[in-house]
Chain A
Amino acid sequence: MSVLPYLVAAWLLLVGCYGMVTSRNLVHLIVCLSVTQSSTYILLLAVGYKAGAKPPIFFEVPVGTRAVDPIVQALTLTDIVVSLAVSALLLALTVQAHKRSGSLDPSSLTILKG
């Protein structure tokens, strides 16, 4: 099993967080958050991957056929749905922020501090 998917997952997590820290635009920031979230998809799929195995569809196949792990795929799907809800909510808040202040810079949204 190659180590590459794990490296990609770690890279996506870090680069997404870097983008969020330095972001000057809320939409950009939310896209960065989606990038970090996609690192978990890759990690989950990599965990369940088996070289040379079939998809986990157990219909008219002999018992004992090697298949990739279906559980992580289910987890990934759940994760995608959850991320979708969060992104929608965040973008809705962003639209409101833009309506209110005419700006998308997170620095303009720092009324509460200290």
Chain B
Amino acid sequence: MQALPPLIVAVPLLAAVILAAAGKRLARRVLDSVALGVSGAVIVMSLVLLHETLGGTSVYWFGGWHASGHVALGVSFTVDTFGAGVAVFASVLIFFAFLFSWHYFETVGDLYHVLVLVFLSAMLGMGLTGDLFNLFVFFELLSVSAIALAGYRVEESQPLQGALNFAITNTLAALLILTGIALLYARTGALNLAQIGRVLGQQTPDGLVIAAFTLLVAGFFIKAAIVPFHFWLADAYGSAPTPVCLVMSGVMSELGLYAMARLYWSVFQEGFSPHLAALRSVLIVTGVITAVAGGLMCFAQHHLKRQLAFATVAHGGLYLIGLGFLTRIGLGAVAVYAVADGLVKASLFVCSGILLSRRSSVDELNLYGRGRDLKVTALLVLAGALALAGLPPFGTFVGKTLIEEEAGVVGWGWLSLVYAGVSMLTAAATLRAGARIFLGWGPRPTSQTFASDPFTEQAAEEDEGTPETSGEGKRTPLVMVTSAAGLLLLSLLAGLSGGLAHGVESASARFADAGYYRAVVLSSGHHAAPVVHRASSALTSGIPAAALSVAGAFILSGLGLYRERLPSGLRAASLRFASRPLHVLRTLHSGHVGDYVAWLMLGTALLGAAFARALI
């Protein structure tokens, strides 16, 4: 199946065009079924592709413009296991999003399905492409369709603000990336990743290469919502329709880091290898800052979708730490963690959607005790929170443990504390919200709690407006519960399958081997894939950390619920200690797009300075 990679991208795009043309005349259920069918077909095709890549990376040249004499002439899709894995992951999440939308929207225009399908094909393209400019085009397509989806309920002010902030920051991201591409093209005369890497691999990096690297990384960091580029994310995810959030949080943010990893390993790694340790510390420190800031902000929210949005930021920081080791084992571990964790966050988004659908609110305090009869959802939220904390045998536990083991190998062993602490914070926020909503624990919130509590938002301003869905009083549709349960189950399976770990091992070896990547793309013929020999880890080393974060999450959520019962001296001390920095952190999230652009400029400048210091 030579033509499979472009076909995978083309099928949803074509379906989107057909639905856009014919959608007005089709019934809602026909649209839903077609969309489900297409995403199901893409899952099957991606799985076939994934299976094919297990033997080695393959290349598809558009228009038959093969590389000739080690020079790439055309545009290529370079498909390796991680790329195909992105395709599988994205299409599975889109499938669940459509499944969830089945009962979720009261009315949804025909353009919703069109936009989601375009969104899907952009993600697939980003996963499969082997060409830098092609990557930029898919990046833009992804942004534009995601922006339109985030602002889908455009008649309300929240989605409007979310979409505008999203659009402006992500357009700037694309602009930085394009500037970086132009600089790289000026130096190497090439756009194919393998070809650029081949030229740069023979040079020591100078100012131009570092500037290009900075701009590209900053652009992808904006998409991945790394601090201080993360501000747009909470606004956009907090207001986007829930089925869309599920996909955005599960895979779109991760794609930014995927693109960064792809670029680093195929283009920059040889030139930067003398400065590996310095570069490593820049990335790891950025990741730690992101993880901690995101975790604190997550715990401070009582709007469920914003809470999950900040959990996305925090866990994005955790992925960046793992990638920042710049080793192939770290890379493989992050891949396992990101997939398992993405599924869990998607499942939690489905649960928040169920609440919005049944109770017309996603505010923890507003929903106090109103979820007592939603027993299945309560169990799903509990399981999701425990999976966030990394409870074995969820995939999150496996991924986290692998990353922590690798942290010890590269000499950053204390990072396992960051992992435990941050996943504890995000899990505690979910547990606290769950206990309030489903069990009615903690004091009944009054209007005074909203006003005086420094740990919650200043005003109870977030009335949902016209709900995007209303199913109050009815039974929770089975499809919704099954979607949430199915996503969690997949995450569990990711943890249980031992075979996955070995597949990821050799996949990350191929991903990280620039010589192999180049040989496959630029010279025809068969190439021996890098071989890995490593005893598989027993994973027992991760159990103390997992126990710590699960226990900590319960304690912390208890503290969040029953703060009033602490001795008054202790309470005053905790307020003094925590409320001031938290207040500053919250004030920074001003919601003003000008501020976000300023942060973005500052962040790019700081990143550039740090990279320059590390690499020269």
Q: Do A and B bind each other?
A: yes
**Interface residues in chain A, defined as those with a beta carbon under 8 Å from any beta carbon in chain B:** 13, 17, 20-23, 26, 29, 33, 36-37, 39-40, 43-44, 47, 71-72, 75, 78-79, 82, 85-86, 89-90, 92-94, 96-97, 100-101, 106-107, 109-114
- On whether the beta carbons of A13 and B179 are closer than 8 Å, the reply is yes
- On whether the beta carbons of B594 and A36 are closer than 8 Å, the reply is no
Chain B residue numbers with a CB within 8 Å of A90 are 164, 167-168, 171
Q: Which of B171, B186, B458, B592 contacts A86 (CB 8 A)?
A: B171
- On whether the beta carbons of B164 and A26 are closer than 8 Å, the reply is yes
Q: How far is the CB of B58 from chain A (nearest CB, A)?
A: 25
Chain A residue numbers with a CB within 8 Å of B186 are 47
| 22 interchain pairs, CB-CB under 8 A | A13-B179, A17-B597, A22-B594, A36-B175, A40-B178, A47-B182, A75-B133, A75-B181, A86-B171, A89-B144, A90-B168, A96-B160, A97-B164, A100-B157, A101-B157, A107-B592, A109-B157, A109-B164, A110-B591, A110-B592, A112-B462, A114-B589
A82 to B178, CA, bound (A): 12
Q: Is chain A's interface secondary structure helix, strand, loop, or mixed overall?
A: helix
Residue of B nearest to A88 (CB): B144
Residue of B nearest to A26 (CB): B164
Contact pattern, B 218-236, Cβ under 8 Å of A = 1, otherwise 0:
0000000000000000110
Contact pattern, B 566-592, Cβ under 8 Å of A = 1, otherwise 0:
000000000000000000001101111
Q: Which of B148, B161, B168 contacts A112 (CB 8 A)?
A: B161
A78 to B131, CA, bound (A): 15
A97 to B155, CA, bound (A): 8
A23 to B598, CA, bound (A): 12
Q: Which of B160, B590, B601 contacts A93 (CB 8 A)?
A: B160
A86 to B137, CA, bound (A): 13
Check: B12 CB closer than 8 A to any chain A CB.
no
Chain B residue numbers with a CB within 8 Å of A106 are 164, 592-594
- On whether the beta carbons of A86 and B160 are closer than 8 Å, the reply is no
Residue of A nearest to B143 (CB): A86
- On whether the beta carbons of A113 and B591 are closer than 8 Å, the reply is yes
Q: How far is the CB of B166 from chain A (nearest CB, A)?
A: 10
Check: B292 CB closer than 8 A to any chain A CB.
no
Check A21/B598 contact, CB under 8 A, given A96-B154, A109-B164.
yes
Residue of B nearest to A92 (CB): B154
**Further 10 A-B residue pairs, CB within 8 A, beyond A47-B186, A114-B586:** A21-B598, A40-B175, A71-B191, A78-B133, A78-B137, A90-B164, A90-B171, A93-B167, A110-B590, A114-B589
Chain A residue numbers with a CB within 8 Å of B462 are 111-112
The 4 A-B pairs with the shortest beta carbon distances in the complex, nearest first, are A110-B591, A113-B591, A114-B586, A47-B186
Check: B238 CB closer than 8 A to any chain A CB.
yes
Check A40/B179 contact, CB under 8 A, given A33-B171, A106-B594, A112-B239.
yes
Q: Is chain B's interface secondary structure helix, strand, loop, or mixed overall?
A: helix
Within 8 A of A (CB), among B328-356: none
Most chain-B Cβ atoms within 10 A of its Cβ — which of A22, A82, A112? A112
- On whether the beta carbons of A85 and B172 are closer than 8 Å, the reply is no
Q: Which of B147, B234, B593 contacts A89 (CB 8 A)?
A: B147
- On whether the beta carbons of A97 and B160 are closer than 8 Å, the reply is yes
Q: How far is the CB of B320 from chain A (nearest CB, A)?
A: 24
Chain B residue numbers with a CB within 8 Å of A92 are 154
- On whether the beta carbons of B158 and A112 are closer than 8 Å, the reply is yes
Chain A residue numbers with a CB within 8 Å of B179 are 13, 39-40, 43
Check A21/B601 contact, CB under 8 A, given A82-B137, A93-B160, A110-B161.
yes
- On whether the beta carbons of A20 and B157 are closer than 8 Å, the reply is no
Check A20/B597 contact, CB under 8 A, given A43-B182, A82-B140.
yes
Check A111/B593 contact, CB under 8 A, given A13-B179, A72-B182, A86-B167.
no
Check: B248 CB closer than 8 A to any chain A CB.
no
Residue of B nearest to A79 (CB): B178
Contact pattern, B 129-171, Cβ under 8 Å of A = 1, otherwise 0:
0000100010010011001100100111110111110011001
A94 to B151, CA, bound (A): 11
Q: How far is the CB of A59 from chain B (nearest CB, A)?
A: 20
Chain A residue numbers with a CB within 8 Å of B595 are 21
- On whether the beta carbons of A93 and B163 are closer than 8 Å, the reply is yes
Check: B185 CB closer than 8 A to any chain A CB.
yes
Chain A residue numbers with a CB within 8 Å of B148 are 89
Chain A residue numbers with a CB within 8 Å of B133 are 75, 78
Q: How far is the CB of A27 from chain B (nearest CB, A)?
A: 12
Chain A residue numbers with a CB within 8 Å of B182 are 40, 43-44, 47, 72, 75
Chain B residue numbers with a CB within 8 Å of A111 are 157-158, 161, 461-462, 591
Chain B residue numbers with a CB within 8 Å of A33 are 168, 171-172
- On whether the beta carbons of B161 and A20 are closer than 8 Å, the reply is no
Check: B174 CB closer than 8 A to any chain A CB.
yes
Chain A residue numbers with a CB within 8 Å of B513 are none
Contact pattern, B 531-552, Cβ under 8 Å of A = 1, otherwise 0:
0000000000000000000000
Check: B457 CB closer than 8 A to any chain A CB.
yes
Residue of B nearest to A101 (CB): B157
A90 to B174, CA, bound (A): 15
Residue of B nearest to A106 (CB): B593
Q: How far is the CB of B462 from chain A (nearest CB, A)?
A: 8
- On whether the beta carbons of B167 and A100 are closer than 8 Å, the reply is no
- On whether the beta carbons of A114 and B587 are closer than 8 Å, the reply is yes
